[in-house]
Amino acid sequence: MTLIKSISGIRGTIGGNVGENLTPIDAVKFASAYGTWLKSQRNKENYRVVVGRDARISGEMIQNLVMNTLVGLGIHVIDLDLSTTPTVEMAVPLEHADGGIILTASHNPKQWNALKLLNEKGEFLDAVEGAKILEIAEGDAMQFADVDSLGKITKNDAYIDIHIDEVLDLEYVNKDIIEKANFKVVVDGVNSTGGIAIPLLLERLGVEAVKLYCEPTGHFPHNPEPLKEHLTDLSAEVKKHHADFGIVVDPDVDRLAFMDENGEMFGEEYTLVACADHVLSKNPGNTVSNMSSTRALRDVTEKHGGTYEASAVGEVNVVSFMKKNNAVIGGEGNGGIIYPASHYGRDALVGVALFLTLLAEKKMSVSELRKTYTSYYMSKKKIALTPQIDVDAILIQMAEKYKDENLNTVDGVKIDFADNWVHLRKSNTEPIIRIYTEALSQEIADELADKIITEIKQIANI
């Protein structure tokens, strides 16, 4: 059982010992720290926080603990109940709230849950803000409200519909052309809130939705990370129903992957590539993704005359870089679309609508669309080192070894070669170096990873 405290929130497994797992006491402590921090940001009379959750079995319990803790701090709560991460992100500024909390452990299995923390813009906290909350949680400076100053909980279950309205109003989402295409789509909602939101969106777009695991019970029917090996049922349903394609999201609906009409993966990395291709064809500009994302985004960006930039891994880092570079679209290679015309957060609903518009305009199948993009292949490996080995020193030596190549050391060591790249990142919790590579074939990607692992071993004398 595990409890992980980080600048982006607190994540852990349900049950067990206090301080070692996400117990009720830990949930209350970190909700108290967040509320205390939030009140320190502005001196005002009334504070408001939006709270929503995915469909995890523990979600209702954790949400009640969190909301009533905020009430005890004198903070008013807007309760979205079952919702999605991007819906909560959008609700925060629409409600003129001071912040938001999403109860979700994203793609982690059902025994996990987490408190994801947002600022008044509905965006994830930065490192400084997150560190301050962790500091407050370890201290005793939290002061609760007296009986006449308690907050109130107001329920609002309209926000998924409001979110869909916002998506349909986006300039480069064309409802009419989507409706005329008569798409049939299979949706795997992994028995969480994507099973509510995605079919509702498709219905509004005039798309026939075949529902698979769309009951928000929290009993995930397969590993909730939307990877090929977990999606055999979706593949079978796409072929059985002769669907145009399949859609799968993670439990909190910020990651999105597609499956083509043959039941083959479109490629999680290519979700962002396709959506960017559509947006950039209408509005040429810059893009950003993290360093471990496919080079195909750079190719598409340059095809449309824009500039691609790579950020450190992590959504808050991608968003920061997008603002700095005035990116018109960006995100992460795990199927996370960040479209500033909507909001600065990964949003599967936005991704679905953009993808459907692209497909309807191109008048081609999903497999044909995939062939229009360069095929890159990734290898993801790691090397475990002994605790005595200085991981930072190894990364410095690797950077020195490849100093004549296109090098980026913002987040580990990223080496861009002519036809491939390698990204080395150290773990923050154990003596491990993760090695990500991408090349024009799987064989070359694997060979490059193995070559780098051999070089690291030589430097470390292991």
Q: Does residue 1 have a pLDDT over 60?
A: no
Calculate the CA 46 to chain-centre distance: 31
- Which is higher by pLDDT, 43 or 358? 358
pLDDT band at 42 (very low <50, low <70, confident <90, very high): confident
Task: Examine the residue annotation and report whether 40 is marked as an active-site residue of this protein.
Answer: no
Instruction: Among 157, 191, 223, identify where a domain stops.
Output: 157
- Which is higher by pLDDT, 194 or 1? 194
Residues 244 and 268 in one domain: yes
Instruction: Among 134, 157, 180, identify where a domain stops.
Output: 157
- The CATH number for 448's domain is 3.30.310.50
Residues 79 and 93 in one domain: yes
State how far the Cα of 39 lies from the Cα of 7, in Å rounded to an integer: 18
Instruction: Among 347, 370, 393, identify where a domain stops.
Output: 370
Residues 67 and 132 in one domain: yes
Q: How confident is the model at residue 462, as a pLDDT? A: 75
State how far the Cα of 245 lies from the Cα of 52, in Å rounded to an integer: 30
> How many domains in the chain?
3
Residues 126 and 8 in one domain: yes
State how far the Cα of 155 lies from the Cα of 153, in Å rounded to an integer: 7
Calculate the CA 448 to chain-centre distance: 28
- The CATH number for 347's domain is 3.40.120.10
Residues 351 and 420 in one domain: no
Residues 300 and 349 in one domain: yes
**Residue range 180-204: average pLDDT?**
98
Catalytic residue among 8, 106, 235, 311: 106
Residues 46-87 have pLDDT tens digits of: 999 999 999 999 999 999 999 999 999 999 999 999 999 999
State how far the Cα of 227 lies from the Cα of 13, in Å rounded to an integer: 22
What phi and psi, each to the nearest 5 degrees, are found at residue 303?
Answer: -60, -35
Residues 207 and 231 in one domain: yes
Residues 355 and 418 in one domain: no
Residues 385 and 355 in one domain: no
Residues 185 and 312 in one domain: yes
Mean pLDDT of the chain: 95
Q: Does residue 444 have a pLDDT over 80?
A: yes
- DSSP E strand boundaries for 197-243: 208-212
Q: How confident is the model at residue 8, as a pLDDT? A: 67
**Residue range 162-174: average pLDDT?**
98
Which of 43-47, 50-54, 152-156 has the least mean pLDDT?
Answer: 43-47
Q: Where in the sequence is the domain holding 310, given as residue range(s)?
A: 163-370
Q: Which residue has the tokens 């998506």?
A: 167
Burial 128-163 (b: 16+ CB within 10 A, else e): ebbebbbebbeeeebeeeeeeebbeeeeeeebbeeb
Residues 304 and 179 in one domain: yes
Residues 358 and 343 in one domain: yes
The predicted model scores a pTM of: 0.94
